[in-house]
Structure 1
Amino acid sequence: MPGRNLLLASITALMSTAACAEALPDTLQYEDTFNLEYAASPFFSHDGNSVFYERRSMDIMKDRTHSTLWQVSVDGKRHRPVLANNANVRAATLSPDGNMLAYVSDQNGSNQIYVRYQDTGQIAKLTTVEFMPGNLTWSHDGKHVAFTLFTPTHDKPLFTGMPKKPKGAEWAETAKVIDTTSYRSDGRGYLPAGFNQIYILPVSGGTPRQLTTGAFPNDGKLDFSADDKRIFFSANRNTDYSLEPLTSDIFSVDVNSTEVTAVTSLPGPESSPTLSPNGKYLAFNQVEDNKMSYQNGDITVLELKSGTVTRLTSSLDRSVQQFEWNSDSDGLVFSYLDHGQTRLAEVNLKGKITTLKATLGGQSLGRPYTSGQFAVADNGTIAFTTDDPLRPADIAVTTKRGTSTLTDLNSDALAHLKLANVETMPVKSSVDGRDIDAWIALPPNFDKAKSYPLILEIHGGPHAAYGPHFAMEIQLMAAQGYVVVWSNPRGSSSYGADFGNLIHHNYPSEDYNDLMDVVDTAIGKGFIDEKNLFITGGSGGGVLTAWSVGKTNRFAAAVVAKPVINWISFGLTADAYPYFTEYWMPGKPWEAFDHLWAHSPLSLVGNVKTPTMLLTGESDYRTPISESEQFYQALRLQGVDAAMVRIPGASHGIASKPSRLIQKVGNIMAWFEKYRTKAE
């Protein structure tokens, strides 16, 4: 039967082809990092009927975050691009009448200020400056934009007697002279001479005019006075500003005479001046500096006519983040950190606080840190970046009728994949019975009857907070079959000043015990393989990882990322050394040598048996790579299995580029897999 034989041959061929075809993965892969998007910087249209926001995506060709501007109606029915091409768009801000949109873009190669006319879509380039403008702020009449701009200074060289170089000679580079306290900064490297100054620019076209001068770091939020004659700003204008890391006041500069006038002079830093819509009050953030390592700032209001100053949020005992006036000028909406979440509340001018039903987040793609931004419309509608442990940030709005999510930026990238479910995991500290918040990610296809390897992931800061938020690093770890736990041990932010300062001049300390309690709680669930426990963390989490392997041998392997290993050397090499030595240490390194050494992971290195990898950016000036090198060399001297992974060009924020996030997680997982004991 030739027909039957032909049919059988065809079926066999099809089956063979199907067998050869590779099944598409149904779990998260490293390359999925480039598919993520998230929302940021929302603000309302003039009529309050739509929300503008930055749509940030991963550019696989340029290995960077690409930012465009989109607009979505409050009812969610219209969602369209406004400025969406190959250029980056940042710091967009709408004019008071809603007719013009100012923003910063690199569309012609360098970052410049542009204005888009909303009725016609025409775009005008307003600046041609050397450095990137920041803090764009409209005047109330819509005729000017103020901004900050780094302005170089040109000091005379120390040595001027170099002989003339012969024509064609090849000499060494000229020596660089450093004579300032602040001379390098993480993410920026060695700093050029100069300061941020305030400029004003007519939007009808013209030349930016410099308003401030002097060797003072003018930076941060700007706001015009009600009559547009002055601009409020925050600065430390003392000559020894570099040695006063938590000192700043509010000033105003006259836009005509450029005269600078002090507006506040409270002890501690004042920042983010924000004028009320009626022009009567100036709100700002203020910290009553008590020299503790963890301090909460409060929303503070100055009545401009009387000079009366009122602290509004002292009773909250939480870290205030963003704040905005309501349209009636009788109160403010603000975000604050609480138990690993970013929440919203309102406060009136008498200090009465009312919590709102909105949780912000989704903007810290790498690890599950707190985050979130919001905006308030004149009609009271609030737009915010949403929080979801399985998705990066979308835009949502909340009104008196309820809350709704307007965008869906990641279903195309993630909806078809099996992700790790995130659950809360309450922990009781064995030290003093305190409640410790923790979370656990269960790998795809989780089966509680099976036994899984465990990764303890520790946050940095140390005064920072994790929460039940989307985190690509956590999800990638879980996708490879690991249970991942993270927590907020003592010292974390979002729990009040007392909890934060339990590690003041005592770090690391019992925070180690809290972390081990987290591990024990996870093991107590019955599905953790105790032979396959792993530990990692970055920055402050790197400190605690290195400290932990000096205290216990229970972990099969460890990855210590961008750590402090030796507080003595750290105090004299970190970029923010005036702050660290004054607020984190009981004295200068030579004054508190024994104390600092006793809290240094290097002091415990003789106990370490755990195979340990060090991972740090080569351009990290916050926790310089020399810290990692000390621990690596000490481990090698002892014959402990150790490796050092150096990320070229990376600063403290290793995962600032998508490919670096992949390198970071990939190397961590490769190290753990090397020491993971496979089931027989």
Structure 2
Amino acid sequence: MAKRKLEATDLFKIQSITNPVISPDGNEAVFIRTEMHKKDNKYYAYLYHVKIETSEVTQWTHAKEKVSSPKWSADGKQLAFISNRDDKNQIYIMSAKGGEAKQLTKFEKGVSSFIWSPCSKKIWFSASLKDGRSWTDEAEEKEDKLPEAYVVDNMKYHNDGVGLLPKDTYRQIGSIVIASGEIKAFTEGTFNHSLQAISHDGKKLVMGVNRDESQDFSFHEPMLLIDIETKKESVIIEEDGHFGGATFSSDDQYIAFGGMLHTFKNATHAEVYVYEVSTGKLQILTEGIDAPVGDYAGADIQQGANAPDVVWTNQNHLYFQLSTMGDVRLYFASLDGEIYPASPENEHVYGYDIARNGTYALATISNTIFPGELFKLNLATGERITITNFNEELINEVELVEPEAIVYKGLNDWDVHGWLMKPAGYQEGQKYPLVVEIHGGPHTMYANTFFHELQLLAAQGYGVLYVNPRGSHSYSQHFVDAVRGDYGGGDYEDIMAGVDYVLKENDWVDEKRLGVTGGSYGGFMTNWIVGHTNRFNAAVTQRSISNWISFYGVSDIGYYFTPWQIGTDMTNIDKLWDASPLKYAANVETPLLILHSENDYRCPIEQGQQLYITLKAMGKETSFVRFPQSDHNLSRVGFPNLRQTRLDQITSWFAKYL
């Protein structure tokens, strides 16, 4: 039986399998399955249990809710998780034998994160709290409240996906006794605290806190080791940069964590750090690897994926993710410097946990024609056992196109890596249109992972070219940093060299039917391309940047991201304008569809509005689609119906002009 072509609505059939967590004894585990519910227009995430020996899978929660952050108690008898079934994210707890979950917290603003105490009788948590209030206060009455003015005092006052930040509210750390519900505050003050780790002896806590009086240009959060009884603090690291995911070794002698300095601002490679508790010595375990620690892959189906920064075994060995050459692989490291890959090439390990004895891993893995499932990996032999098959029916039903990996020479004779997909149903001797996709970031990457949007374009009869130009992660520090101060320069040349390479090597590509699209940075680059060449016949720009001058003041990150990436601020308007696609609007001859979310605080909708009105006034072929109640992440976690609308708009535009 012939397979059918993939459709936009198949997005609703893809199951996202994430967050495996192994029990302390290694005999069982839990994970999360997320689905997009078309009728309710929501995402639901369910908790599942698996017996390791038999791979028997059982669904543990069934309510229409979003479950996240499952964690076993130290004695393995209980499981806690965060759920939004009570509107806000709250902690729930259940027996490891199954049964109904009990709500543990009822905080007005919900819970940010939590960690079990080693005694298994108490849970530590971090939650937002208004200054002067306690978690035991009754919730404020908000019904029929008159609108109030929002007085802005700081430059960091709004965030994409959040909106205006709550006034006089700070993230604090506390603990709650499970049996009695007694709550004790651990931190106080007008600062945000992040809960990182608790030692196995229950005596020490790791937290992050930035106590700078003004934090507008403060880009660090010192990581501190706290004596729980005396509250005496020791600094683990306080460099400019981002650090987190701390975890104690089983003997409490070491603390491992992930993080990046600001040497190259947000283009700096992340590393694995190890802190020796007794001496205060700090080493960078991965400094010999010229690739970033962590998962930098861009995709559109892995909802709720949240992998640990680093995991210890009882032998004081560590495992972590590494983004390398378009892959996200699991890596092993020892404290004496031994480091090697623990998973193969050509795939995306987007979630994992390691058995404490170091014998096996549970990992959620995807590749270009496989949406992702849960596997058990034998860490000694590499053998793997498939545990889940939630996406098997869809895979067997639809025709998927396996991309061809390509390498070509970009500007300065640099190697540029990417992928080329032939159209679904490709027939030798026929000519096909080609769509060029450009990722966001720019410091992310296309990877060997499943991407529904790319498969959909192939199913619609397009070849698809997607590459990692300079500025992309997973190659080298020099490569990822090379885009800063050169937007529209070498990155543009790398992408266009990819088009030239594909046209030269593939006679099935119709050079008179070329399309281009991308979002965020990819939207900027789409705008830039159509202002600098007329070789494309259709373009779709999404959540884009068109004007760096206005972006500086309206984006939630504009005032620092702009100088980081463009190399200047409002003191040099000419340089900002020269790097703005809007400056070149008069050159645009390519029909351009502009897609933008109305609640996008990262690349605010005025960026799309400016471009649309300017092009329209010039008599250019353009259209503008606005997505209500949506932010910068529409294509990944937005309302399901609007995600489908977005895909329909893209494919309709290309169908019209290609």
Equivalence for 2:178: 203
- Contact conserved, 2:531 with 2:584, CA < 8 A, in 1? yes
- Contact conserved, 1:424 with 1:468, CA < 8 A, in 2? no
- What SS does structure 2 have at the residue aligned with 1:378? coil
Residue 163 of structure 2 corresponds to residue 189 of structure 1: yes
C-alpha spacing 1:304/1:643, structure 2 compared with 1 (3 Å)? same
Quote how far apart the aligned CAs of 1:263 are.
3.8
- What SS does structure 2 have at the residue aligned with 1:517? helix
Equivalence for 1:151: 129
Equivalence for 1:8: none
Quote how far apart the aligned CAs of 1:424 are.
1.3
Deviations 1:524-555 (A, max 9, x none): 31111122110000000001100001111011
- What SS does structure 1 have at the residue aligned with 2:485? coil
**1:414-563 equivalent positions in 2, closer than 5 A:** 414-429=395-410, 431-524=411-504, 525-563=506-544
Quote how far apart the aligned CAs of 1:188 are.
0.7
Quote how far apart the aligned CAs of 1:199 are.
1.7
Quote how far apart the aligned CAs of 1:304 are.
0.9
Letter aligned with residue 642 of structure 1: T
Letter aligned with residue 260 of structure 2: V
Gaps of 5+ in 1: 1-22, 156-169, 363-370
Quote how far apart the aligned CAs of 1:654 are.
1.1
C-alpha spacing 1:41/1:423, structure 2 compared with 1 (3 Å)? same
Equivalence for 2:302: none
Distance 2:43 2:440 in 1: 23
Distance 2:3 2:366 in 1: 26
- What SS does structure 2 have at the residue aligned with 1:543? helix
- What SS does structure 1 have at the residue aligned with 2:553? coil
- Contact conserved, 1:347 with 1:354, CA < 8 A, in 2? yes
Q: TM-score, normalised by structure 1?
A: 0.88
> Which sits farther off after the overlay, 627-636 or 55-64?
55-64
Quote how far apart the aligned CAs of 1:253 are.
4.5
Residue 407 of structure 2 corresponds to residue 407 of structure 1: no
- Contact conserved, 1:632 with 1:642, CA < 8 A, in 2? yes
- Contact conserved, 1:382 with 1:398, CA < 8 A, in 2? yes
Deviations 1:447-467 (A, max 9, x none): 131111111010000011002
Residue 655 of structure 2 corresponds to residue 673 of structure 1: yes
Quote how far apart the aligned CAs of 1:74 are.
3.5
Letter aligned with residue 338 of structure 1: T
Letter aligned with residue 189 of structure 2: G
Distance 2:33 2:388 in 1: 10
Distance 2:174 2:513 in 1: 58
Distance 2:239 2:536 in 1: 49
Letter aligned with residue 239 of structure 2: L
Give identity over the alignment, percent: 29
> Which sits farther off after the overlay, 577-586 or 87-96?
577-586
Equivalence for 2:363: 384
**1:222-301 equivalent positions in 2, closer than 5 A:** 222-245=196-219, 247-253=220-226, 255=228, 262-301=235-274
Deviations 1:191-222 (A, max 9, x none): 11112111211122313322222222223x52
Distance 2:413 2:85 in 1: 56
Distance 1:291 1:527 in 2: 41
Equivalence for 1:317: 290
From 397, 401, 420, give the equivalent of 2:376. Answer: 397
Residue 103 of structure 2 corresponds to residue 130 of structure 1: no
Distance 1:80 1:281 in 2: 36
Quote how far apart the aligned CAs of 1:171 are.
12
Q: TM-score, normalised by structure 2?
A: 0.91
From 126, 142, 161, give the equivalent of 2:120. Answer: 142
Residue 591 of structure 2 corresponds to residue 611 of structure 1: yes
C-alpha spacing 1:293/1:77, structure 2 compared with 1 (3 Å)? closer
Equivalence for 2:52: 74
- Contact conserved, 2:89 with 2:112, CA < 8 A, in 1? no
Distance 2:186 2:145 in 1: 41
Distance 1:439 1:33 in 2: 22
- Contact conserved, 1:586 with 1:592, CA < 8 A, in 2? no
- Contact conserved, 1:336 with 1:344, CA < 8 A, in 2? yes
Letter aligned with residue 334 of structure 1: F
- Contact conserved, 2:403 with 2:420, CA < 8 A, in 1? yes
Distance 2:315 2:214 in 1: 37
C-alpha spacing 1:52/1:119, structure 2 compared with 1 (3 Å)? closer
- Contact conserved, 1:111 with 1:132, CA < 8 A, in 2? yes
- Contact conserved, 1:74 with 1:406, CA < 8 A, in 2? no
From 615, 622, 628, give the equivalent of 1:635. Answer: 615
Distance 1:119 1:409 in 2: 24
Distance 1:288 1:87 in 2: 37
Quote how far apart the aligned CAs of 1:226 are.
3.6
Letter aligned with residue 556 of structure 2: D
C-alpha spacing 1:311/1:109, structure 2 compared with 1 (3 Å)? closer
Gaps of 5+ in 2: 134-143, 295-307
Aligned residues: 628
Letter aligned with residue 416 of structure 1: E
Quote how far apart the aligned CAs of 1:316 are.
0.5
